[in-house]
Amino acid sequence: MKTFIFTSILLLCICLPVHSETLDIQVMADFVPQDGGNPENEATTFLLAAAAELGDEISLHFIPASRLREWQQLSKMNNVCLYNKLKTPEREAHAVFSQYPLMAFPSNKLVVFNKPTIPDAITLLQAIYYYDLTIGVIKGRSYSEEIDKFVRLNDEHFFILDGATNAPRLGQMLFQNKIDAVLEYQTVFSNRYKRAPGLSSIRYISLKPEKAALFGYIACSPTEVGKQAIALFDKALKTEKVRTLISERLMELFHEGENTQIVNAFNAAFEH
């Protein structure tokens, strides 16, 4: 009888659900969602959707920080995560990245004003040497591994502005002919300056070789807590619910033709 009771208690303990502790994550960003308001960009919406899918497995606390401070805190604290970040070898040496993307977007364009003779597609090498363009970029932002390296090696041809919140200033300088071009996504630039008087003279030049899409990932502290967070985020991102949400919204965000290419590339990233 005692053996039966002991066995029953043991089986009951095994069958009872185990409530693990909620993983507390500090999310560093150059803005935070307003309390009770809507997220201010699509990547934030997708991150919150992934967190909601995880339920009480994870808890996110948004902390305002500049792009420079984001990466500094990632190495100083054991439970920090960033999101919508391009993967580069330099970044992967200091952070653990999600396997699956949170966001997808087209390659950056070379945005020019009142320059009708530049071809529709050129290389950055042609832009700075053949067309003698001074190009505006934001310090601390990654445009792609190849573009970042090119900027570092040819920085005298670039106007490098510090501070992510100063990105709109580059467009203003472009309209004022203080710089010759800026690197930006076409959708972002066209929406930001849709009421600008000179928008009709803006052109979006493709940079060769052009990729089908770039991806924004979640990056966390290279610690056990960071690895746990990444495992949870990857679990949420590959669910049909979250993938469908992101895919459908990406289709709405970008221009016709471009959007199909981006969504196809996004979905293909989950096949590996």
Domain final position from 182, 207, 232: 207
182 and 56 belong to one structural domain: no
Residue whose structure tokens are 């996504």: 185
Which is more confident, 29 or 143?
A: 143
- Could you tell me how far CA 246 lies from the centroid of its own chain? 13
Which is more confident, 225 or 197?
A: 225
28 and 97 belong to one structural domain: yes
90 and 219 belong to one structural domain: yes
44 and 89 belong to one structural domain: yes
166 and 142 belong to one structural domain: yes
Q: How confident is the model at residue 102 (pLDDT cuts 50, 70, 90)?
A: very high
Distance between CA atoms of residues 5 and 257, nearest Å: 67
pTM of the model: 0.83
133 and 173 belong to one structural domain: yes
122 and 193 belong to one structural domain: yes
189 and 252 belong to one structural domain: no
Domain final position from 181, 207, 233: 207
Percent of the chain with pLDDT over 90: 72
Residue 1 lies in a domain: no
Residue 224 lies in a domain: yes
Q: List pLDDT tens digits, range 163-177.
A: 766 788 999 999 999
Residue 122 lies in a domain: yes
Query: What is residue 14's predicted lDDT score, i.e. its pLDDT?
Result: 42
Nearest CA-CA partner of 124 in 245, 37, 56, 208: 208
Residue 223 has pLDDT above 50, yes or no: yes
129 and 195 belong to one structural domain: yes
Least confident of 24-33, 86-95, 216-225: 24-33
Task: Output the average pLDDT for the chain.
Answer: 88
Question: Which two three-digit tokens encode residue 167?
Answer: 């990105």
What 3-state DSSP class applies to 184?
strand
CATH number at residue 123: 3.40.190.10
101 and 117 belong to one structural domain: no
Residue 114 lies in a domain: yes
What 3-state DSSP class applies to 131?
coil
Assess whether the previous peptide bond of 209 is cis (omega < 30° from 0): yes
Phi, psi of 61 (to 5 degrees): -120, 115
Distance between CA atoms of residues 129 and 191, nearest Å: 30
- Contact, 255 vs 188, CB < 8 A? no
Residue 93 lies in a domain: yes
Please state the domain count of the chain: 2
47 and 98 belong to one structural domain: yes
113 and 197 belong to one structural domain: yes
- Contact, 104 vs 214, CB < 8 A? yes
Domain final position from 189, 207, 225: 207
Residue 95 lies in a domain: yes
Residue 5 lies in a domain: no
* Burial track 216-253 (b if 16+ CB lie within 10 A, e otherwise): bbbbbbbbebbebbbebbbebbeeeebbebbeeebeeb
Domain residues for the domain of 179 are 109-207
Contacts of 128-131 spanning 24+ positions with Cβ under 8 A? 128/154, 128/157, 131/180
Residue 131 lies in a domain: yes
Residue 243 has pLDDT above 90, yes or no: yes
Q: How confident is the model at residue 40 (pLDDT cuts 50, 70, 90)?
A: low
Hey, what amino acid is at 262? I
